[in-house]
Chains A and B, each alone.
Chain A
Amino acid sequence: MDLFLFYAFAFLAITSALLVVSLKNTARALFLFFIVLFAMAGLYLFALADFVAITQVLVYVGGVLILMIFAFMLSNKELLSDLQDLSGSFITLPNWQSLALSLGFLGLMSYGIWQWDQAYSPAWMEQNIRTGQIILSRDNNINQLGMMFMSRYILPFEIISIFLMMTLIGAAHIARKGDEA
């Protein structure tokens, strides 16, 4: 049952991501991106990361996607369709070239995962499996995460809060309507 649900979520995520990149209509692609993010949150649940999953729903679906649709609505109507003029293109590759590149990358990564023998997992994983230090479904993750944020990971936590403040002020500064901007 677990495995079936996992495959259902994985199928949902991959097919909607494929649809996101293949649709010509940007608005529809953005709304399909909702479904991808929800399915990814479901996949996090299967790795027993409930707090990360709920944060994904709050931050991505509640914040990032609304922001994207808002910015999309502020731009004009001809952007609804993906532009197809390739003359003088110096960043974007043609479709077949990018398809070949990403398929090659996928093949490379799948080959790497295929070659990775489970018997030779990293030493810390081996040790944690042997001593039973793996997260189980009955563990209280949120409590432990709060402890870790305030004790062991206090420095990255503070750095990231300063960084978040800097980016928010910077974004507001860039996007303001000013004469000198």
Chain B
Amino acid sequence: MIPITHFLVVSACIFCIGLYAVISKRNAIMILVGIELMINAAILNLVAFGRYDKADYGGQVFALFAIVLAAAAVAVGLSIILMTYRKYKTINPDQITDLRD
């Protein structure tokens, strides 16, 4: 059996790579990819702890819920990106400044 610490370290690395993508990219699709990486790191943690929970299967069940939530988030996010592109002709979030003072 692989110790749980190894899962935690791998998941921390993936989470920080996703965080980097979210705060440094200038392309809305790449920001969405970064969010997906962070969600995947969270799912890895859920699954790694869920191995110790045979009575309730809480970790695996909520990992499946998290996958469904991520898929829903991607569907809505991509449709918003498409509409934004149609209206502003860019998907750089820095240039969409209609709500700015």
Contacts and interface: CB of A to CB of B under 8 A. Distances in A.
B91 to A, nearest CB: 6
Chain A binding surface, main DSSP class: helix
Contacts of B19: 101-102, 105
Contacts of A164: 68, 71-72
Contacts of B17: 14, 17-18, 20-21, 102
Which of A44, A129, A148: most chain B Cβ within 10 A?
Answer: A44
Chain B binding surface, main DSSP class: helix
A13 B22 CA distance: 18
Contacts of B6: 6, 10
Contacts of A106: 12-13, 16
Contact of A71 (B49, B78, B92): B78
Interface residues of A, number: 89
Contacts of A120: none
A171 B57 contact: no
Interface residues of B, number: 76
Given A82-B30, A105-B16, A181-B83, A92 B44 contact: no
A141 B55 CA distance: 12
Given A3-B2, A148-B56, A44 B47 contact: yes
Interface of B: 1-3, 5-10, 12-21, 23-27, 29-30, 32-34, 36-37, 40, 43-44, 47-57, 59-65, 67-76, 78-83, 85, 89, 91-94, 97, 100
Interface pairs A-B: 6 shortest CB-CB: A98-B24, A175-B79, A167-B72, A106-B16, A102-B20, A109-B12
29 contacts: A2-B2, A13-B10, A14-B13, A29-B30, A30-B29, A30-B33, A44-B63, A46-B2, A52-B47, A60-B71, A64-B74, A74-B85, A75-B29, A76-B89, A84-B26, A91-B94, A99-B24, A102-B19, A106-B13, A109-B12, A124-B53, A125-B49, A128-B53, A135-B54, A141-B60, A163-B72, A164-B68, A164-B71, A174-B80
